[in-house]
Structure 1
Amino acid sequence: MQIAAPLGYRGAMEIRTFAGAAVAPHLDAVAALRIAVFRDWPYLYDGDAAYEATYLATYARSPRSLFVLAFDGARVVGASTGIPLADETEAFQRPFRARGIPLGDVFYFGESVLLPAYRGRGIGHAFFDAREDWARKLGGFALTAFCAVERAAADPRRPAGYRPNDAFWNKRGYVRQDDMFCELEWKEVGAEAPVPHRLRFWLRPLEGAA
């Protein structure tokens, strides 16, 4: 899939998909991209290479997972992932068990990360489209879901003019679940040790699913 290039750029840009272990040649690039993008607000993640290797290995091991990568020439500038919730770790499964939602009904979206220069060109929609289409192709899923970190509106670290993605997610048909969240620990930029963070889930029925 061809995507719009930054103004003045003359190279080739495209979005490519990889299932499971096929992404192996690009895992280091995806890890570096996650560390770079999540360092900014609202995650403030002080990247941990060991954690990245463990986290991404969960996806690479699943033959039904999907990596959607945006390339600027040979460079990975954006990445998005998805995996059957049954293949994810317990931390992400627990809220669904508590709600009584069968794990096999859910295709879970891991993240969408994109370097700032490439935003506002429809790549975010392409990431969602590719993962939703993959879930339909696999068959058997009734829902797609993801979670996102929550921050206080009055947090002094919040950048001026920052706009959350809630409106974008709502337009994609995702609904914030007030009673579904998970808790993950990571070390924030400038912190001495990891601290817990609450991530809220968003769900959408997968229309057209088999």
Structure 2
Amino acid sequence: MDEVTVRALTGADLEQALDGVAALRIAVFRDWPYLYDGSLDYERAYLQTYRDSPGALLVGAFHGDQLIGASTSTPMEDHAEAFAEPLKAIGLPVETILYGAESVLLPAFRGQGLGHRFFDLREEHARALGRSHVAFCSVMRPDNHPMRPAHFRTNDAFWRGRGYTPLDGVFAEFSWKDTNAAAESAKPLQFWIREL
């Protein structure tokens, strides 16, 4: 942990780190439960949101000069409409929400408190933007999925410990190509939210 630094990046600093975020997303999301078969071209298009949003934040964890972890967020109205619509449908004003899109961390650096730093800085950013809530989504997979590891443990306890609760019956849908699939397919994503 002594050699890892965590920095909140915006603007040009954020943009400079996005290829590193792309590489992390491809590596980390290849594992369960995402099973994401990503490409750099797809990632660069997906991450354009953070270049375009003046309220975007990238919390980067660096081991020396190497980006080993990242947590991204944007004002909810700046993220994909597929994520804003389910919240609008239940009457939540999206202008009050910071959306935490992903937190990715290489396995060798897990269990050292970096996840808490990601959430601390994300929530601090939300407050600085005048947001009253932070929300994120988690991918849902069936318990009997053939690729589910036998000893998989969800992050639910960590998220609940941070004050987040699932929004019952509120889901987004997003498509990507699984590692064992020929084409993209839609996956349900459960919303979690916390009032600051």
Bin the TM-score by the shorter chain.
over 0.9
Match of 1:188 among 153, 170, 178: 178
How far residue 27 of structure 1 moved from its aligned partner, in angstroms, is: 1.1
Work out which of the two has the higher radius of gyration on C-alpha atoms and give 1 or 2: 1
Q: Deviation digits for residues 146-182 of structure 1, max 9, x if unmatched? A: 0010011122211121100001100001001122111
1:61 paired with 2:71, answer no
How far residue 90 of structure 1 moved from its aligned partner, in angstroms, is: 0.6
- Tell me the residue number matched to 2:10: 19
Does the aligned pair in 2 maintain the 1:184–1:197 contact within 8 Å? yes
- Number of aligned residue pairs: give it: 196
Match of 1:82 among 73, 77, 86: 73
TM-score, normalised with respect to structure 2: 0.97
- Tell me the residue number matched to 2:144: 154
Does the aligned pair in 1 maintain the 2:174–2:186 contact within 8 Å? yes
Paired AA for residue 97 in structure 1? K
Provide structure 1 residue ranges, at least 5 long, that are not aligned to the other structure.
6-11
Does the aligned pair in 1 maintain the 2:57–2:72 contact within 8 Å? yes
Q: Is the deviation greater in 191-200 or in 51-60?
A: 51-60
TM-score, normalised with respect to structure 1: 0.90
% identity of equivalent residues: 52
Q: Is the deviation greater in 58-67 or in 115-124?
A: 58-67
How far residue 59 of structure 1 moved from its aligned partner, in angstroms, is: 1.3
Q: Deviation digits for residues 42-78 of structure 1, max 9, x if unmatched? A: 0000013222112211012111110000000000000
Cα distance in structure 1, aligned partners of 2:76 and 2:166: 18
Paired residues for 1:82-121 under 5 Å? 82-121=73-112
| Alpha-carbon distance change, 21 to 55 in structure 1, aligned in 2, over 3 angstroms | farther
Does the aligned pair in 1 maintain the 2:126–2:132 contact within 8 Å? no
Paired AA for residue 30 in structure 2? R
Q: Deviation digits for residues 114-134 of structure 1, max 9, x if unmatched? A: 000000000000000000001
Does the aligned pair in 1 maintain the 2:58–2:71 contact within 8 Å? yes
Cα distance in structure 2, aligned partners of 1:53 and 1:21: 16
Cα distance in structure 2, aligned partners of 1:93 and 1:54: 19
Q: Deviation digits for residues 6-64 of structure 1, max 9, x if unmatched? A: xxxxxx32001111343122111110010000000000000132221122110121111
Q: After the TM superposition, which segments of 4 or more aligned residues of structure 1 sit over 4 Å from their partners?
A: none
